[in-house]
Every structure is written in C-alpha cells, then in structure tokens.
Structure 1
Amino acid sequence: MTKHGTLGVAVIGTGRMGADHVRRINAVTSGARVAAVVDIDAERAKQLADGIDGCTAYTDPAGAMASPDVDAVLIASPGPVHEAALLQAFERDLPVLCEKPLTPDAASALRVLEAEQKLGHRRVQVGFMRRYDAEYLKLKALLDSGQFGRTLLLHCRHRNASTPPGFTSQMMINDSVVHEIDTTRWLLEQEITAVTVLRPRPSSAAPDGLADPQFVLFETAGGAVVDVEIFVNCGWGYQVQCEAVCESGSARVGDGHAMVTNAAGRWGGEIDADFVSRFEDAYDREVQQWVDATRRGEVEGPTAWDGYAAAAVCEAGVRAQATGERTSTNLVERPALYR
C-alpha cells in the first residue's frame, strides 16, 4: 500500500484534534510520518509543517493528496467538509482515518457509502476512539465471551466540565451522545431502533438556551435498553462511564480508579479535565493500529457504515429531543461491503 517504507500521512485540519494527531504521528506512532498538513489557515499549517522534517503545508486537501509523498489521509477538519475530502481521497484510492462524524447527516453519509462501494473495497476507518480504550476493550471481550449471559441493559454517563461558546442542545446529541451511540452498537452488535430524550430542568450552570443535563434512552434490535446521562456543564471534570447489566452479572468501566490516594484526612483520585487526557491511550492505539493495517494493505476498525448508522441515530435523537416523543430510527439496508 505504501510508496515508501514509512507511511506518509496527510493530516487535514490542524485545530486541537488535528494538531494532536500531528504530534502523535510525529512523536508516538511507529511506521508513519506526517508528510503534509492542510488547513484553510495557511499560517497555522505552515507553522506546524515547519517543525517537521519533510512536511509540506497546504490549504487545499486535493493538493496534499496529489503529493507523491502522501500514502494515506487523516481527516480532522470540521464535520461539514468531511464529505468533500473523503470523495477526493476515493478518487486517488487513498486509505482514510476520518474523525467522527463521518459526515454531519445521514444523507451525506449515504453518498460516502455509495462512493466507497463503487471502489469495490473499503478505504475508510471512522475515528470512534472508545473502541480502542483498554477498559472498553475488556468490557467488550467480557460481553462477547457470554460469561454473564445476554446483556439486558447499559447504563452510561457522559459528563463534561463545561462547554465552549455556541454549544447547542442539538450538539449534545451530535457531538457527545454520538459516542454512546457507537459504543452501544459495538458492545451489543445490535442496531439502535428508537430514541427517547427526557429533559429535566436545566442546571443553573447551563448557558442560556442549553437544556443541560438530558437523559437519553435507546432501544436496540435485540431487545436491550440503554440509558445515557449527558451532562456537559457539570463543573467538576470529564467522566465517561458504562455499566453492562447481564443475565448473571454486571460489569462497569470508567470509574477512574487507576490510583487512589490517602492524604490530609481525605482519600480519592483524579478526574480528567477533558477527552484528550482521558482517551489519550485510546487515540494512540487507534492511530497505531490504523497505520499498521494500512501498511499491510488492509482496512480495519469502524466502517463508513458505522459512521452512517451513528448519523442516522443522531438525527432520530435530535427529533426526539425536539418533540419529547419516542422516535424510531430509519436506516437503509446494510450493503454487502459492510457485512
């Protein structure tokens, strides 16, 4: 798959996530190098590129993909421009790691599915990093083993200390609960068939107009029920937890008890500040496995179908949020390429 011994990666988008991936590939990942960075802010892209040997800055994704130094693409730009970058990558048959969302809505995600199917093979891995977190991997292995019987319920918590300006109630589904959507589908290997959103009175810390917290319910094709507490202005830190309740046992991840201290008359641990610190190892593992698979000529991990399904469930969630009613999801038949 590579033109060189080391995978040359073009990173599209150099904001917080993109810049972190540039650092990761440059300093942590083996078998890859940052060959190009792309951003509409030419100066920001140039500053990043200047610090990396053999890296070129671009303002146009197509220009970077045309470079003979580029073997693969990592998309970390805002969601609304993902579709165009993905289609450009398909034109050159380049492997892609695309940060979530695949695209912002189900209709555009379907266009990506159709374009990838025309290639006749997969090229996209979607960046749902929880699938690479050590705790979630242990939970997945336990559920797959059947040791506790069928999974009946998932209880999830997703808390952020605060939100940036302009964060909306719809973004609570599209930017935050989307992770629980993918986690549910991955852990249970079942599609989500309906969504209900309950909105208690807002926290006094919630910005004007933001309904925070919310309580989201998923129903799955296999008869499981999943609840998600989403609280994005909790004030005390970043917490992601999941408990699986099975027929003969339960298991929970995300308690953050890797180290507990006792001092000054108190005991306790630390709460992560944000998703970057909480899932740093997961991001490292995700990118390394993508690089390794790409160098072997393979595509692994969450598919474009997973990105599409998440977008479709998000749309149902936003409708349920607005109406207060149980809302069914509407997925097309799963194409053969993704079975």
Structure 2
Amino acid sequence: MTLSVGVIGLGVMGAEHLRLLREETAGVHVAAICDADAERAGRLAQDAEVFSDPLALIASDRVEAVVIASPDATHAGLAEACVAQRKFALCEKPLAGTAVEALQVVDAEVTLGRRLIQVGYMRRFDPAYVEMKRAKDAGEIGAPVLLHNQHRNAAAPGWFTGPMAVTNSFVHEIDISRWLLGSELVSAVVHAAPGGDPLMITMETERGEIVSTEVFMNAHYGYHVHAEIVGRSGTVQMSQPAVTLTNSALHHGHGYPENWVPRFRDAYRVQMNAWVRSVATGEPVGASAWDGYVATAIAEQVVTALQTEGKAKLFLGARPEIYA
C-alpha cells in the first residue's frame, strides 16, 4: 500500500522533506504540493498536483497525509485543519507561534479523541541522541544528575532577534531534554552575555536534575550541537560530529557543517520513514501535539525570564489522557 502525501511549503525544510519522501522513504507517493512561490512549486512538482491554497490541499481526496513546512505562523492553523479532516500530519516545529495557539491544536485532538499530529522535533530520531537515551534508560551511568546541552550556529540572520534564539532554537533543547531524561522541567533561569548572545539557560526538572544549555547564535566556526548526560556512576556524551578524521595541510581533525540540515540529515530521514510507517499502522511516534505545546509554552516563559532577568517557575497545566 502506498501513502499519498501532500507537502505544504517548499523552502529549506520543505524541499528537504520533499526530497526525502521521493528518494529515501518507502511506501509513499507525493501526490500534491503547495507553496506561496508558484514558480518554485511548478519547478518541483514532477507528477504532483500543485495547489495554491494549503487548505484545499489538506481537503483533497488525493491526499491522505500532510507534511507542514510552511512559515511558522501558519503551522497551528494548518495542523488544526488536518485534525478537522482527520488526516495525519508531520508538522515542522514550532507547532504554533504561541502557547495559546498550540493548546488549540491539542484541544482539537482531544475533542476528536485521537492523535494525528507529529511535531518535527527530529532530534528524537538522531542516532547520537537515541544511543544516549538507551544508555541512560539501561542504567549504564546511574541516575542522571546533570544534562549539558550546547547549541551553536555559525551566524544568525539579521532578522533573528534575541527572543527567537529561545523560541526558534532553544525549543529543540526543551524537547530533547524532556525526552532524554523522561521528566518534566519545572524552573528556568536565563543569563545573557553582553549584546544578548550567547545565552546560558539553566533549568531544573521535577526530579531535581539540572539541565544547562548554551545557545550561541553567532559562534562563527560552524553549526555545532553537543550533549552530555552526567549520572551518579558515569557519563554518556556525543562524540565529534563526523564519521571521519582528516590529516591535511598540517592539521588533524574534522569540519563542521554550515547549518543544521547536514548535521541532522540522518535524523530527518529516520523521522520521515518512522512517520510514514506510523500513519500506516495508526500508532503515533515522535513528538506529539502536547509535546509541541510544552516546548512553545516553556519557551515563552523562558523569554519572560530573559527579559526580567529573573527565575521562571514553569507552568504547563494538566496533560490530557490521550498523551499519557
């Protein structure tokens, strides 16, 4: 059986999702695409039907499931439309621009009584993070005490403001920290370097674990994500972000990617294949709409702590039973 998928948004991530569906995912056919740039959509169409209206794509009988990779501000409304049409969707992060909007997506699923939305927090599928979680869950390092996260970009675009370092970048650390540790975050303190970059964000979980995260949007040397879990009897951390080491021109080492796509290419591929299989079986995988709400809600509260230079006690509300 082949799943017919529609892709909304064909920018950097949308184009990569489209490539993955066509080249590296079994049991799927791209039936429809939609992008605000009609010329780009036409160029990438191949045998897919081109839509100018994303809601029409979602409602189309030719489309069984949807990948949402349009601008962030559109995610919540399109995710809600997928729930209304009872269609599974893989929605790029963030789920919504605000926690209120994200909660509306959650409420739509709760009303329907089933999960249809997977949020694209792809790090849950990254081999390094998966192995770290396996080691932690197997008790190989003892009870976790600390989680150190590092999130460095080569350079942020000019329109990338201070709060966006939290709402667009740090949200990944919010989600992966919850997933790795299996516990909820209850407080946060933010320290900003002069000029607002980098940030050091320290959070505490309900079990007293400490999560430290450096968010450095203009580190210049490349895109570099790293994590280490410190347990009572050992540690587990990522190795260098490369599979080879090079000796050349009096140097020994490895390079860094320019952005996140090469670093997490395997994670995106595994995520897409897992999502397609989950649609076929009806068994959700990956980050849920509730997880998407939690990441956005915590990010909002961390932004408030950043602006007030205070400590935030994080509040999320009760988790609905369908996400238990």
Structure 2 counterpart of 1:151: 144
Check conservation: 2:241, 2:263, Cα contact below 8 A. Answer: no
Letter in 2 for 1:319: T
Letter in 1 for 2:247: N
Name whichever of 284-293 and 248-257 sits farther off: 248-257
CA displacement 1:155-175 (0-9 Å, x = unmatched): 111000011120000000011
Whether 1:268 and 2:253 are equivalent positions in the alignment is yes
SS in 2 for 1:198: strand
Structure 2 counterpart of 1:140: 133
Give how far 1:23 is off.
Answer: 1.2
Structure 1 counterpart of 2:297: 312
CA displacement 1:214-267 (0-9 Å, x = unmatched): 111111111011111111111100000001100000111152252112233221
- Mapped to 2, the partners of 1:125 and 1:274 lie a distance apart of 23
Give how far 1:82 is off.
Answer: 1.1
SS in 2 for 1:103: coil
Letter in 1 for 2:246: T
Among candidates 275, 293, 301, match of residue 290 of structure 1: 275
Give how far 1:43 is off.
Answer: 2.4
Give how far 1:188 is off.
Answer: 0.6
- Mapped to 1, the partners of 2:52 and 2:37 lie a distance apart of 7
- Mapped to 2, the partners of 1:127 and 1:254 lie a distance apart of 24
Structure 1 counterpart of 2:75: 82
Check conservation: 2:93, 2:119, Cα contact below 8 A. Answer: yes
Among candidates 229, 237, 242, match of residue 252 of structure 1: 237
Whether 1:31 and 2:27 are equivalent positions in the alignment is yes
Letter in 2 for 1:19: A
Give how far 1:61 is off.
Answer: 1.5
- Mapped to 2, the partners of 1:103 and 1:267 lie a distance apart of 43
Among candidates 106, 109, 115, match of residue 116 of structure 1: 109
- Mapped to 2, the partners of 1:219 and 1:180 lie a distance apart of 13
Structure 1 counterpart of 2:118: 125
Letter in 1 for 2:291: D
Whether 1:239 and 2:224 are equivalent positions in the alignment is yes
Check conservation: 1:259, 1:269, Cα contact below 8 A. Answer: yes
CA displacement 1:270-314 (0-9 Å, x = unmatched): 111110000001000000010011112322211111001101110
Q: 1:257 to 1:13 in 2, by over 3 A?
A: closer
- Mapped to 2, the partners of 1:71 and 1:187 lie a distance apart of 32
- Mapped to 1, the partners of 2:308 and 2:263 lie a distance apart of 33
Q: Please, what TM-score do these two structures have when normalized by structure 2?
A: 0.97
Structure 2 counterpart of 1:190: 183
Structure 2 counterpart of 1:218: 203
Structure 2 counterpart of 1:7: 3
Q: 1:44 to 1:257 in 2, by over 3 A?
A: closer
Whether 1:93 and 2:86 are equivalent positions in the alignment is yes
Letter in 2 for 1:12: I
Give how far 1:44 is off.
Answer: 2.1
SS in 1 for 2:302: helix
Q: 1:305 to 1:254 in 2, by over 3 A?
A: farther
Letter in 2 for 1:165: G
Q: Please, what TM-score do these two structures have when normalized by structure 1?
A: 0.93
SS in 2 for 1:117: helix
Among candidates 171, 181, 202, match of residue 164 of structure 2: 171
Check conservation: 1:240, 1:254, Cα contact below 8 A. Answer: no
Letter in 2 for 1:43: E
Q: Show the 5 A alignment for 1:43-58.
A: 43-49=39-45, 52-53=46-47, 55-58=48-51
The RMSD of aligned alpha carbons is 1.1
Check conservation: 2:8, 2:54, Cα contact below 8 A. Answer: yes
- Mapped to 2, the partners of 1:264 and 1:124 lie a distance apart of 49
Ranges in structure 1 where 5+ consecutive residues have no aligned partner? 203-210
Whether 1:230 and 2:223 are equivalent positions in the alignment is no
Ranges in structure 2 where 5+ consecutive residues have no aligned partner? none
Letter in 2 for 1:28: E
Percent of residue pairs bearing the same amino acid type: 41
Structure 1 counterpart of 2:264: 279
Structure 2 counterpart of 1:66: 59
SS in 2 for 1:248: coil
